[in-house]
Amino acid sequence: MTDRSLPPRSAIAPEHTWNAPSVFASVEAWAAEREGVAAALPAFESRFKGHLADGPATLVEFFDSLSDLYGRAGKVLVYAGMESSVDTTNQAAAAMDSQANSLYSQVLAATAFAGPEILAIGRDTISAWMEQEPRLRVYAHYFDNLFRQQAHIRSAEVEAILGQLADPFGSVATTARLLANADLQFRPATGADGSTVPVAQSTIAELMLAPDRELRRTAWESYADGYLSCKNAFANNLATALKQTVFLARVRGHGSALESALFPYNIPVEVFHNLIDTFRRHLPIWHRYWTLRRRALGVDTLHPYDVWAPLTDAQPQVPYTQAVEWIAEGMRPLGNEYVEVLRQGCLRDRWVDIYPNQGKRQGAFSSGWKGTYPFIMMSYNNSLNSLSTLAHELGHSMHSYLAWQHQPMIYSDYSLFVAEVASNFNQAMVRAHLLATQDDPGFQIALIEEAMYNLHRYLFQMPTLARFELEMHERTERGEGLTASLMIERMADLFEEGYGGEMAVDRDRVGITWAQFGHLYTDFYVFQYATGISAAHALAQGILDGKPGAADAYLEFLKAGGSLYPLDALKLAGVDLTSPAPVEAAFGVLAGYIDRLERLVG
């Protein structure tokens, strides 16, 4: 790699940016709508608060108005998030994002009366009203879920206060994001030839894939050291988030933070523990991989910065348009309609903010709202890993697109528990297509390395972080103090167990890993990456094997959105995550890739 600098946001060609004007034509239009939504809240409360028991017609009118209100507020939120994500140094965009989140908190507070009022009407009356008024029947799942949670829903006054807490409580995640993306400074990485390369959130993933070991080492150390320089701030920030979670769990009468996080989605805590237990039993598969990688790289000692090192010089260059075509072909078993929507989104409708720029936040994500495009932010760099990231985010986006097309606003979103299924499903399908059509050994090695990159994240890093997260929540529940030193020590211990003596461990730099994952600000999210990839591989295998009806069942799962409980939606698609069997099978996929890689690299 040679010296280079990232372009400013202003230098990115409009055709390579996501289509923000499709949401609002201008910042002024956005501001007018934000003010319009805020102005609509008093009239909404005046019309419906205290009146939901008036009859089924009023309840239908309420849901219609609620859908309109949430649709408008959601677009305000999405647009502001788009502006701030692509340039975290843009203070005006940061202010917009804060204003949008504040507005959304106001909407939550203004609508918080609904749950308690509907519960007061009673299940029997609601059932009778659904018989009288057919337009209410679409909300049957909403009502069932509401009454299921009745014991944990507080009075309208308390619910309104909890709604107002969403904004100030959300600031800890914002602080972590701003620290990581706007304030942290990383020293440049240095290659073996003495050249320097900037280390940034939008470049670190690519640097970890560099063949130059010295470049990888210095980039990895620089990145970890950046976080270590603010370790106390990150630790206090995360500790505050954990305290907030425990507080909310206790307010709602849950037995633990884990139970509180999973209860809204009707997921038993055993699903979490099944994942962790299965992961720990299969750690020897990872130990075997570390040994294979050390031998393949020809190094005496493997280090964490070697985990992503290329095992072949034949690293394919994959331009963005080629990636879109390969992804489209890989998803062909789902039918032409799915494929053509995907292609148009990527190539004509500008769903994707494609390339890196200064200040662009780390990682990649899919974002949007019913009534917008399902947008994608990433930093594409013409590699197989970037192709895979695009396929992953398109899984999210097509999930959203189909849910928005087939569900009302109230079911237009889907839970985190199922979110990672669609994304990993796309990656599994595209990988299978490329393995079947690209027979060059170098390409196949690179492709399997990409698969291992993903599996390492989902079946190694995320379960390890989930173990850390559970322990930190339990310590908080017991009233124990959390410090940066404690967090670093426990994180390092967990990674050392996962490395099984096959990896040199720089305890401070490995131990700060928790600060590098903003996912921890969404309670018990990280374990769902592992359950998600497990379900995804099971569903993809059914379609690749030609199982009758498998593709149609999967599409029905995508279209269901939030109209079913997550575990029921997955059963509709054909996989049962109340059993550890899909996770066991995912580790079988991992072992199979290791076998194949072992043959290819000799």
> Which CATH number goes with the domain that contains 46?
1.20.140.70
Catalytic annotation on 393?
yes
Range of 156's domain?
Answer: 9-172
Residue 575 DSSP SS3: coil
Q: What is the pLDDT of residues 175-186, one digit of tens each?
A: 998 999 889 999
CA-closest candidate to residue 573, choices 296, 334, 326 = 334
**Cβ-based neighbours of 600, under 8 Å, separated by 6 or more:** 441, 444, 445, 448
Q: What are the angstrom distances between the C-alpha of 266 and each of 146, 259, 270, 421?
A: 11, 10, 12, 17
Total count of domains within the chain:
1
Tell me whether strands 375-377 and 352-353 are parallel, antiparallel or unpaired.
parallel
Residue 197 DSSP SS3: strand
Contacts 24+ apart (CB under 8 A), 243-247: 243/476, 244/169, 244/172, 245/473, 245/476, 245/523, 246/473, 246/476, 246/477
In this prediction, residue 366 carries a pLDDT of 97
* Least-confidence region, from 5-9, 230-234, 537-541: 5-9
pLDDT: which is higher, 164 or 552? 552
Q: What is the DSSP string of 321-387?
A: HHHHHHHHHHTGGG-HHHHHHHHHHHHTS--EE-S--TTPPSS-EEE--BTB--EEE----SSHHHH
Q: What are the angstrom distances between the C-alpha of 104 and each of 74, 107, 495?
A: 8, 5, 38
- Report yes or no on 39 lying in a domain: yes
The mean pLDDT of 142-147, rounded to a whole number, is 96
At 295, the amino acid letter reads R
Q: What are the angstrom distances between the C-alpha of 523 and each of 153, 223, 238, 361, 384?
A: 19, 25, 11, 21, 31
At 480, the amino acid letter reads E
- Report yes or no on 128 lying in a domain: yes
Catalytic option among 33, 393, 420, 469? 393
- Report yes or no on 126 lying in a domain: yes
Q: What are phi and psi of 189, to 5 degrees?
A: -85, 155
pLDDT at 538 over 70: yes
In this prediction, residue 53 carries a pLDDT of 97
Instruction: Measure the CA–CA gap between 560 and 554, rounded to whole angstroms.
Output: 10
Q: What is the pLDDT of residues 300-327, one digit of tens each?
A: 999 999 999 999 888 899 999 999 999 9
Is the separation of the CB atoms in 7 and 358 below 8 Å? yes
Q: What is the pLDDT of residues 289-302, one digit of tens each?
A: 999 999 999 999 99
The mean pLDDT of 479-504, rounded to a whole number, is 97
- Report yes or no on 106 lying in a domain: yes
The mean pLDDT of 58-83, rounded to a whole number, is 97
In this prediction, residue 416 carries a pLDDT of 87
CA atoms within 13 A on the CB side of 267: 29
In this prediction, residue 121 carries a pLDDT of 97
- Report yes or no on 559 lying in a domain: no
Instruction: Measure the CA–CA gap between 109 and 167, rounded to whole angstroms.
Output: 10
Kindly state the percentage of the chain with pLDDT values over 90. 90
* Least-confidence region, from 7-16, 227-236, 357-366, 561-570: 357-366
pTM of the model: 0.87
Helix ranges, 407-483 (H): 416-437, 441-456, 462-477
Tell me whether strands 196-197 and 189-190 are parallel, antiparallel or unpaired.
antiparallel
Helix (H), strand (E), coil (C) string for 84-102: HHHCCCCHHHHHHHHHHHH
First to last CA, the chain: 28
Question: Given its phi and psi angles, is residue 510 left (phi above 0), alpha (psi -120 to 50 degrees) or beta?
Answer: alpha
The mean pLDDT of 87-109, rounded to a whole number, is 93
Which tokens belong to 85?
């994500």
pLDDT at 129 over 70: yes
482 membership: H or E segment, kind and range? none
